[in-house]
Amino acid sequence: MNNKSVLPRDPFDALLMQNDVVGVRLWGPPTQPTLSVGKSDIWDRRWFGDRQPLVTMARIRELAMAGRLSEVARDPNDTVYDVYGQYDFPCPKPGAQVILGTPFAENATVERFPDGGFRLFVEGKGKRLTAHTWVMLTRPLVAIQFQCEGLEPADLWIRVYRHRDTILPGEPMSPTLGGRPSNTDFEQMAAPVCHKQGNDWGIVQRFPPESTFPNGFDAVVAATADGAEPVIESKAGEKGLGTPLWAEKEGRLDHMVIKRYRPINEAIGAASIASFRALPASFCVYVAIVTTQDDPNPASLAANILKEARELGVKVLLDEQKLALERCRRKNPATACVGESRRIEAPARVLPNLRRPLGCYGDIPLCSVGDTKFCFQDAGLWHNDFHLNEIRAEGMLTLGQFEEILLYCDLIRTLLPQAQENARDVYGLPGAMYPLVHFPLRCRGIAHTNLTWEQDIGLNGLVSKPLWLYFRYTGDKVFLEQTGYPVLRECARFCLAYLSEGDDGWLHMIPTVSPEHWGLTAKFERNRDCASALTLTRYLLMSAFSAAETLGQDLKEAAEWKKAAVRLTPYPTHMTDKGPVWVDVLGAPPIEYNVPVPLSPVFWGDDVGLDSPTETVELAKRTLEQINVWPPHRFYLDSCIRPRLGICGPGAPIGAENLLLSYQSIRIFPAAPHDVEIRMENFAAQGGFRVWAVRPAKGEMRDVKILSVLGGECRVANPWPGRAVRVTSAAGRQSVRLTGAAEQIVFSTTAGADYELSPE
C-alpha cells in the first residue's frame, strides 16, 4: 500500500477517524504527533434563556403596528434577546489531546488502512516508531498499537492534555457572528483536572450544572497501556503542556473557517504523562472517552472500558473491528459513474448507532453546522448549532442514506414537546411550531437565537418534510405512525390556525419573515406571504393530509388541511421588462438574496418542476435567469434549482438530483451532461422504487430498469420523448405496449418485481 502522506501540522488539516460518537484528528509536528480526541456530546450547555422575557407574537404585532420594533430588534441581526449576540455558548467543546512525545523524530508520515485506521511512521536518528491507530466502531475507544525499533525509554512518552477553556466574561466573541464583547454574567469554566486510577492516566473536564444535566456534566479522557509499564506524572496550572495549534494565518479566514489558536496556545492546562521504564518491541495503548451521558460516574466507566480492552487484547479487538466493518457495510449501495472520473455514491459504511435513546448529541445529519466530535477549539462558527432553516434530505434519500435521515427524524420527534410549548406560549395557538435553531440541550421551547428569523413560519414545513420523505422512500408505516405523523399533525394544526382569510378569498400568512431578508418591519410591510412559507406550508398541509389518510386517522381534520393548502394565496411576483418574476415577500422588489427564497417553490416546496404547467416552468426559469444571490450561497442554484428545471450549467457540480428526480414523476437523467457516459445503479425514488439506467455519451438511454420495493403505481417521464415505450416485467410475465408518444409512462407494479423499459 503506497498512500503515505506527511503528517499535517495544522489541526484544521488533520487526518480524521471516527465512529458514531467519537472523533479523532491526527496532526502535529514529528516530535509530537497528536490525536485530538472528541465526542459528539461534549457541549458547554449553559443556557440563560430563562432570564429573558418571553417575546410573544402578540407583543410583536403590537410593536409592529406602533412602529416600536426597535424595542426587541434593533436590526434583523441584532435582537435584544439573542443567544448568538450575548454568549459563545451553548457550543461544543474539545475532549483532550493525546500526545505522542517522540523527541528523536525528524519526520512523520501517515498511511491510511482499509480498516478505517491510520499507520503513523515516526523516524529519525536511526530510530523508528510505528503506531497503528484506529477508533473502535462499537466502543468509545481509541486503540494504538506501537512497534518500536531502536528506541530507548526516553524516546517516547504519552501525554493526555487539555487546556483551560478560553471564553472569558466580557471578551470579544470572535468565533461567532460579529465581534461584540460577550456578557459578563457568567464564570469561566473550571480548569481541567488530572485523572489517575491504578495504571490509567488522563484528564477530567467538569462542566457547570444546567437544565440538561442539573448535577453537572463530566467528560473523561483516560488512557492505559497493555504490554508496557507506565510511570505516571501529573501537572496542572501550567502553560506549554500541549501541542501548540499552528496555522500560517489565524482569524476568520473565510465564510466557514475560524482559526482562533493564539488564546488556546497561551492558556494554562493540565496533563497526565506516562513515560516507560522499558519500551518493548510491541505494545498497545488504549484511550477511552466517556461522559456523564454515558454513565453517572464516567471515570468508573472509563476504567471498566480500559480494563476490558486490556483483557481482550489487541488481536480480539482487531477481529471485532473487522467484523463490525463488514456488518456496517452499506448493502446494495446506490452508485453512479459520470464519465471516467466522477463517481456519486453514499458513504460505504453505516456507522453503528452508539447513542443513548433521547440523548443530547451533536453531529446530526442535515442540520449540524459542524461536527462536535472533531471540535478542537473553544467555540465554532454560529456555535456549531443545528440550523433548521437550511434542510434538504432529497439527495441523501436518493442515495439510500435512510439510516442517517432516521437520526434526524428521531431528533425532531424528540423536540416535539418543546415545539408544542413554543406554539402555546409564544403564539397562543394549538399544535407545534419549531424554532430556527436547536442546541443539544433541554430548554424552553423557543430558542430566541435570533428573534426576527424565528418568525419564518415556513420552518414547520421545512423541519417536518424529511419525516414525510422518509416514509415516501421506505414505506415504513410503523415509523409514520410513531415518529412522522405526530410531528406532521401538530405542525399542520399550528399552520392552519396561523392562516388568515383575506378579502380576496385566499388564505394568507401574516406575518412571515423571509429567511434572512428584511426582518420584522413596521406594520409588517415586508412580512406578508413569504414565498418559502407559502410553499412549505402547502407541502406540510398536503403531506399531513396524505399521512392521515394512509393511517386512517383524523380524517375530518385532515380534510381541512387539504382545503387550506388549495386556498393558499399565489406566490408573490414582481414585474420586470422581461415579464413577471417571483420575489420573496408580497410587495417587495428583487434584491440580493442570502438564499434564493423566490425559487423556494422549486427546491424547498417541491411544488414546481418539469411536470408543472408550461407557464409556471417559464416563470421559474425567468426568475432563475434574473435572480441575484449572495456569492457564498450561489451553490444553491446549481445544486438545488437548475437540476429540477432540467438545466445542467457548464462546469456545474453533478449531484444525485442531476441524475434522478422523483418529487413529481420519476425523471431519469433530467439534468446530466451529454458528452460523457453515465451509469446509474440502485438510485432511490419516492414511492419505494429503485432505478438503474445507462446513457452513453451523446447517445440515447438504455438498460432502464425499475425495482418496485413497495408495489403500487409507477409514473415515469418518458425516457425517449416522442416514442412509444414497452414495459416488461423481468420474468417476462407482463408486457404492456404503450402506443403513441406519451409524456408520462404509468403502470401498476407488484412489490419486489423488476420492470424493464425500452423504446419501441
Grid coordinates of 621 = 426559469
Q: Give, to the nearest 10 degrees, the angle between helix 531-551 and helix 459-474.
A: 40
User: Is the predicted pLDDT of residue 737 greater than 60, yes or no?
Assistant: no
pLDDT digit string, tens, across residues 225-253: 999 999 999 999 999 999 999 999 988 77
User: What integer is the mean pLDDT of 400-413?
Assistant: 95
Which residues contact residue 454 at a Cβ distance below 8 angstroms, ignoring those fewer than 6 apart? 435, 436, 446, 447, 448
Its CATH architecture, for the domain 4-46+88-329, is Distorted Sandwich (2.70)
Residue ranges of the chain assigned to CATH 2.60.40.1180 = 660-759
| pLDDT at residue number 83 | 77
Which CATH superfamily does the domain covering 660-759 fall into?
Answer: Golgi alpha-mannosidase II (2.60.40.1180)
Distance (Å, whole) CA 102 – CA 198:
25
pLDDT digit string, tens, across residues 134-143: 999 999 999 9
Distance (Å, whole) CA 315 – CA 368:
36
User: Is the predicted pLDDT of residue 2 greater than 60, yes or no?
Assistant: no
User: Is the predicted pLDDT of residue 285 greater than 50, yes or no?
Assistant: yes
Q: Would you call 107 exposed, middle or buried from its count of C-beta atoms within 10 A (0-12, 13-18, 19+)?
A: exposed
Percent of the chain with pLDDT over 70: 97
User: Is the predicted pLDDT of residue 665 greater than 80, yes or no?
Assistant: yes
User: Is the predicted pLDDT of residue 739 greater than 50, yes or no?
Assistant: no
User: What integer is the mean pLDDT of 413-441?
Assistant: 93
| pLDDT at residue number 370 | 84
Query: Considering only CA atoms, which of 480, 648, 616 is closest in space to residue 553?
Result: 480
Average pLDDT, the chain: 93
User: Is the predicted pLDDT of residue 444 greater than 70, yes or no?
Assistant: no
Distance (Å, whole) CA 121 – CA 130:
5
User: Is the predicted pLDDT of residue 422 greater than 50, yes or no?
Assistant: yes
User: What integer is the mean pLDDT of 143-159?
Assistant: 96
| pLDDT at residue number 483 | 97
- Dihedral (CA of 581, 586, 589, 590) sign: negative
Its CATH architecture, for the domain 388-647, is Alpha/alpha barrel (1.50)
Residue ranges of the chain assigned to CATH 1.50.10.10 = 388-647
| pLDDT at residue number 63 | 95
| pLDDT at residue number 1 | 44
Grid coordinates of 296 = 453517572
Query: CA angle at residue 267 from 265 to 269, to 5 degrees?
Result: 105
User: Is the predicted pLDDT of residue 178 greater than 70, yes or no?
Assistant: no
Distance (Å, whole) CA 588 – CA 513:
12
**One-letter-per-residue 3-state SS of 106-156:** CEEEEEECCCCCEEEEEEECCEEEEEEEEECCCCCEEEEEEEEECCCHHHC
| pLDDT at residue number 88 | 84
Residue ranges of the chain assigned to CATH 2.70.98.50 = 4-46+88-329
Buried b (16+ CB within 10 A) or exposed e, 52-88: beebebeebeebbeeeebeebbeebbbbbbbbbbbbb
Residue 349 DSSP label = B
pLDDT digit string, tens, across residues 467-481: 999 999 999 999 999
Please state the separation of Cα 16 from the chain's center in Å. Answer: 17
User: What integer is the mean pLDDT of 121-136?
Assistant: 96
For residue 729, the surrounding DSSP H or E stretch is strand 725-729
Query: CA angle at residue 557 from 555 to 560, to 5 degrees?
Result: 110
For residue 233, the surrounding DSSP H or E stretch is strand 230-238
User: Is the predicted pLDDT of residue 311 greater than 70, yes or no?
Assistant: yes
pTM of the full structure: 0.94
pLDDT classification of 740: cutoffs 50, 70, 90: low
Of 139-153, 360-374, 658-672, 677-691, the one with minimum mean pLDDT is 360-374
Distance (Å, whole) CA 137 – CA 326:
11
